[in-house]
């Protein structure tokens, strides 16, 4: 008995398939002819302003279009089976590759450790700004909307001094005060063993109100109300201040759209730095040179050069689309600016035409800080998060925040203190507390 080969069988199936397809088209064509005849008879009995010949041509065209769609429909049905198989294969392939990518990210972030070490609670209102002394003894300073400024022991979290000399929130009385006080640091107590928390594994559960308690702080905290020097001349809220290198001059930034440079010994106004179109938000001085950078709500920041006593140059930089909340110097030749436009930009002082790196985030950025040794940027956000990036814009970590720890309101400011062994990063916010963090910098840099 003769056996039919595989090739002849497949060719026969293809012929039968084409034959059935042509038969279906013939049936369709005959049906279409009957349908077209009926439609023409109906058109002759209808009122229309179009000529009958034109109406007939339109019917023929629409009939051809319908037949084309019918042919496409038949071809789609025949190819649907093979398409579903291809789709399933693609899903399987991409699912496997995506799983590898996700697992690699989890392995990276799990080794970057950021630990909450100390909470500094005592202010009655939001904390706008904080900083750490540049010389020994190292203490933490905070400025609050409750009209007070406080000095804290970094190791114990104890309030060392409360300054009550201002008549308004922060420097809402349009003045800047310089005051002196001999600080006696308490004996550090053993730090409780807090479990280490991976930076990116915390889930945001908290939507609590202010920090618990009334924020009275320790009753034994001494206070002073009289400053040794009062700097006047501003016509608006003084929002920031910084020491010029050498410690003999101070620069202040105000909502009156100006920054002032004062002589500390005489309290006299040396220079008034004007030019911004809207309120200033921050000012910062270079750690080793007579340079000042001011930021403003006018979306710009300005670089003021006092290195030459006879020439005081200024440069304007327009790299943001919203309020520039802060601009700070690094130890090298860089300026880092943060903005309400949710970006942070890194600039080279030698060529400020365009940023050398841009960091894009999901929330407005407030007063940033850059570590001295490793140049890590700490970004405090409106959404209660604090993130760490390197100077090239690579994200290193997110500080842990949950219903048990971290900030509960907008984070206003950050400050590095790499010389301190227990807390090397500080942050403060509208939740009336400052937080001391221990950042495992070697682990962060190892993952780059």
The answer on pLDDT for 390 being more than 60 is yes
d(C-alpha 112, C-alpha 126), whole Å: 30
- Residues 32-36 have a mean pLDDT of 57
The answer on pLDDT for 311 being more than 70 is yes
Range with the poorest average pLDDT among 194-198, 257-261, 394-398, 440-444: 194-198
Residue 112: its pLDDT value, please?
A: 46
**Domain boundaries defined on the chain:** 113-177+221-445
CB-CB neighbours of 196 under 10 Å:
11
The answer on pLDDT for 109 being more than 60 is no
pLDDT interval class at 66 (50, 70, 90): confident
Task: Name the burial class of residue 169, with classes exposed (0-12), middle (13-18) and buried (19+) by CB atoms within 10 angstroms of its CB.
Answer: middle
Q: What is the mean pLDDT of the chain?
A: 82
Residue 91: its pLDDT value, please?
A: 60
The DSSP symbol for 445 reads: H
pLDDT interval class at 111 (50, 70, 90): very low
Residue 210: its pLDDT value, please?
A: 46
The answer on pLDDT for 84 being more than 90 is no
SS3 label, residue 132: strand
In the sheet that holds 377-380, the strands lie side by side as 369-370, 377-380, 386-389, 395-398
Strand 238-243 and strand 291-296: the pairing is unpaired
pLDDT interval class at 259 (50, 70, 90): very high
Render pLDDT for 114-147 as a digit per residue (tens, 0 to 9). 999 999 999 999 999 999 998 888 999 999 999 9
Render pLDDT for 183-231 as a digit per residue (tens, 0 to 9). 777 766 655 444 444 554 444 444 444 444 444 444 578 999 999 999 9
> Are 382 and 367 in contact, with CB atoms under 8 Å apart?
no
Residue 185: its pLDDT value, please?
A: 77
> Are 280 and 254 in contact, with CB atoms under 8 Å apart?
yes
The DSSP symbol for 6 reads: H
d(C-alpha 400, C-alpha 198), whole Å: 7
Q: Which CATH class is domain 113-177+221-445?
A: mainly beta
Residue 107: its pLDDT value, please?
A: 38
């Amino acid at each position: 008995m003769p056996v039919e080969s595989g090739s002849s069988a497949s060719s026969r199936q293809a012929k039968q398939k084409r034959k059935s397809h042509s038969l279906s088209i013939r049936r369709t064509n005959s049906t279409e002819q009957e349908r077209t005849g009926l439609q023409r008879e109906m058109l002759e009995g209808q009122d229309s302003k179009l000529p009958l010949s034109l109406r007939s041509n339109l019917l023929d065209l629409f009939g051809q279009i319908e037949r084309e769609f019918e042919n496409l429909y038949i071809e789609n049905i025949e190819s649907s089976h093979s398409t579903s198989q291809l789709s399933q294969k693609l899903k399987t392939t991409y699912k496997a590759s995506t799983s590898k990518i996700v697992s690699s990210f989890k392995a990276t972030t799990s080794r970057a450790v950021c630990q909450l070490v100390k909470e500094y609670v005592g202010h009655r209102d939001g904390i706008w700004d904080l900083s750490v002394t540049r010389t020994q003894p190292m203490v933490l300073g905070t400025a609050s909307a409750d009209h007070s400024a406080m000095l804290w022991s970094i190791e114990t979290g104890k309030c060392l001094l409360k300054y009550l000399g201002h008549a308004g929130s922060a420097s809402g009385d349009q003045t800047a005060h310089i005051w002196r006080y001999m600080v006696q640091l308490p004996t550090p107590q053993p730090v409780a063993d807090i479990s280490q928390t991976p930076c990116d594994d915390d889930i945001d559960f908290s939507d609590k109100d202010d920090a618990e308690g009334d924020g009275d702080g320790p009753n034994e905290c001494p206070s002073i109300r009289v400053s040794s020097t009062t700097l006047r001349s501003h016509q608006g809220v003084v929002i920031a201040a910084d020491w010029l290198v050498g410690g003999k001059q101070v620069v202040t930034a105000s909502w009156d759209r100006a920054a002032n440079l004062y002589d500390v010994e005489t309290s006299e106004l040396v220079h008034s730095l004007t030019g911004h179109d809207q309120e200033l938000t921050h000012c910062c001085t270079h750690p080793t040179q007579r340079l000042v950078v001011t930021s403003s709500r006018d979306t710009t920041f300005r670089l003021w050069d006092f290195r030459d006593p006879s020439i005081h140059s200024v440069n304007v930089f327009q790299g943001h689309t919203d309020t520039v909340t802060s601009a700070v110097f690094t130890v090298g030749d860089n300026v880092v600016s943060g903005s309400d436009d949710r970006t942070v930009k890194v600039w080279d002082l030698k060529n400020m035409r365009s940023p050398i790196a841009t960091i894009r985030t999901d929330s407005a950025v407030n007063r940033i800080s850059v570590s001295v040794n490793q140049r890590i940027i700490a970004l405090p956000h409106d959404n209660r998060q604090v993130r760490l990036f390197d100077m090239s814009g690579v994200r290193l970590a997110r500080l842990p925040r949950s219903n048990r720890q971290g900030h509960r309101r907008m984070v206003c400011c950050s400050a590095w203190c790499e010389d301190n062994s227990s807390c090397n990063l500080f942050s403060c916010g509208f939740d009336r507390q400052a937080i001391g963090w221990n950042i495992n910098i070697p682990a962060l840099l190892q993952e780059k």
